């Protein structure tokens, strides 16, 4: 049994997503996957806050970051070894997508989850196909529509979180789940992941990529850029909720 830790970037930009993609590709390769479990974990207090949105962002950098991010999501979702998300803090926007792509999502009591894209004039288009594998479509839509934070307990009730780690027992919770999911044969694990998807790998990949294209189109609009600028300046009534 082998557990491999991969650090999830606190914010997603071209450079950090490129490194994340390379790490995911290395640890989810099909060779000798039996007994291997991948743990995705963020910095203390933050799992991942999604894409780093800056008023002066380069469109090409955003395009590259989104393309690599899509590949990360698909690689996680269809890896031949179990992948666990260890959420101990904020998971926002794309961070929710990373968690949703995983086989098991563990969360501490201080964790929170939010699909905050609509507040910037965006939608969670790239990650939505993965979120609705876990959460009823209406619940996912409501989560995205409001853009508010859900506690770990609320996310657990929705199905976004699989297990809540008791206060002070995160390491013990991780160990218990690693033991449970490490027992399966990698070929069977891979087949189970394909079986449990409502679409084929190529169909899900296409849906994620279409979502990324929609996000890029929206990012190019003046209205979205204005919202990003207002957020950076603290000139919006909801900025404190995402700080």
Q: Would you say residue 122 lies in a domain? A: yes
The pLDDT score that the predictor gives to residue 57 is 65
Structural domain of 202? 2-167+194-235
- Cα-atom radius of gyration of the chain, to the nearest Å? 17
The pLDDT score that the predictor gives to residue 243 is 42
Task: Give yes or no for residue 21 having a pLDDT over 60.
Answer: yes
For residue 224, the domain's CATH number is 3.90.226.10
Q: Would you say residue 177 lies in a domain? A: no
How remote is the C-alpha of 123 from its chain's centroid?
Answer: 15
Q: Would you say residue 206 lies in a domain? A: yes
For 56-78, what is each residue's pLDDT tens digit? 666 788 899 999 999 999 999 99
Count of domains forming the chain:
1
Distance of alpha carbon 28 from alpha carbon 80, whole angstroms = 7
Q: Would you say residue 186 lies in a domain? A: no
Whether the CB-CB separation of 219 and 59 falls below 8 Å is answered with: yes
Instruction: Please count the other Cβ atoms lying within 10 Å of the Cβ belonging to residue 145.
Output: 11
Q: Would you say residue 215 lies in a domain? A: yes
Structure-block tokens of residue 8: 């999830």
Q: Would you say residue 173 lies in a domain? A: no
Which residues lie closer than 8 Å to 113 by C-beta, 6 or more apart? 87, 91, 92, 96, 99, 149, 150, 152, 154, 155, 160, 161
Q: Would you say residue 113 lies in a domain? A: yes
Q: Give per-residue burial for 29-44: e unless 16+ CB within 10 Å, then b.
A: eeeebbebbbbbbbee
Distance of alpha carbon 233 from alpha carbon 225, whole angstroms = 12
For 184-226, what is each residue's pLDDT tens digit? 888 898 899 888 877 788 899 999 999 999 999 999 999 998 8
Q: Would you say residue 13 lies in a domain? A: yes
């Amino acid at each position: 049994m082998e557990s491999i830790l991969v650090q999830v970037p606190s914010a997603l930009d071209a450079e950090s997503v490129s490194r994340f993609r390379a790490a995911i590709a290395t640890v989810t390769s099909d060779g000798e996957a039996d007994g291997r479990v991948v743990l995705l974990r963020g910095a203390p207090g933050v799992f991942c806050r999604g894409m780093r949105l800056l008023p002066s962002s380069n469109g090409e950098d955003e395009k590259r970051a989104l393309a690599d991010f899509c590949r990360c999501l698909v690689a996680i979702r269809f890896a031949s070894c179990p992948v666990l998300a260890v959420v101990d803090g904020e998971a926002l926007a794309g961070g929710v997508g990373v968690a949703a792509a995983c086989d098991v999502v563990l969360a501490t009591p201080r964790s929170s989850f939010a699909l905050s894209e609509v507040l910037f004039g965006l939608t969670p288009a790239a990650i939505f196909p993965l979120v609705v594998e876990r959460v009823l479509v209406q619940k996912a839509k409501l989560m995205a529509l409001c853009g508010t934070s859900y506690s770990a307990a609320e996310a657990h009730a929705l199905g976004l979180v699989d297990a809540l780690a008791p206060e002070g027992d995160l390491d013990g919770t991780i160990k218990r789940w690693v033991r449970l999911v490490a027992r399966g044969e990698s070929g069977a694990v891979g087949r189970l992941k394909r079986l449990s998807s409502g679409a084929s790998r190529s169909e899900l990949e296409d849906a994620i990529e279409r979502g990324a294209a929609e996000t890029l189109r929206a990012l190019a609009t003046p209205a979205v850029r204005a919202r990003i600028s207002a957020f950076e300046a603290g000139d919006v009534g909801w900025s404190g909720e995402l700080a």
